[in-house]
Chain A
């Protein structure tokens, strides 16, 4: 049972345009969500997070939106840069458990 889903395995975007990465979850107990970026043969790098009490969090070019009623979150990157090309994982946790449940990742390719 996959509790965190990223239905798009890949996404290609032109440099300068907006990249939108989507993530859905099924467990309503999740109350904290994170996005990680991962290059091949490296560990994930934390990008941005959002608590369930918020519906938007912004950090520079990265904005995460949370729609609790739809159990959906998205990561917006604008403007997209070639260096953003990587696999993006969304992850969720609940309460004080601290364990993260990861989605399967989306490979973002930003074309110059």
Chain B
């Protein structure tokens, strides 16, 4: 199956700093990447959808100035949590799809990044 990597897998930072998370599709070109957030014992909540070369589309309630998404190439998308605060502590997961089909497309997920803001 398709492989998606995320880096770093875990990060601890001080309040007020910014953190960048990378998501890479290793063996396919991802025209679309998705960023999710998961709180403990809860479902994955879609934060934003990013298409290569265009601006990300954010879900309602997600601050685009706080969660900066860049999808500069067909294999890399980045999520930057700016001026992080303790409430941003969460598990962030990206997924990627190749865009080969309009319907029934499978998303492949990265292993996730655990962010802890002190």
User: Chain A interface (Cβ within 8 Å of chain B)?
Assistant: 31-32, 34, 36, 41-46, 49, 51, 89, 93, 95-96, 98-105
A contact face: mostly helix, strand, loop, or mixed: loop
Contact between B106 and A41, CB atoms less than 8 A apart: no
Shortest 5 CB-CB contacts between residues of A and residues of B: A43-B109, A96-B102, A32-B104, A104-B43, A102-B43
CB–CB A89/B106 < 8 A: no
Main secondary structure of the interface of B (DSSP, over half): strand
Partner of A99, one of B34, B42, B102, B110: B34
Given pairs A42-B111, A46-B106, A99-B34, 11 additional interface contacts (CB within 8 A)? A32-B103, A43-B110, A45-B109, A46-B1, A46-B107, A93-B105, A98-B97, A98-B107, A101-B46, A102-B44, A102-B45
Question: How many residues on B have C-beta within 8 angstroms of the other chain's C-beta atoms?
Answer: 28
B111 close to A89 (CB less than 8 A): no
* Given A41-B112, A43-B6; A103-B107 close (CB under 8 Å): no
A36 to B34, alpha carbons, bound, how many Å? 16
User: What's the nearest-Cβ distance from chain A to residue B91, in Å?
Assistant: 7
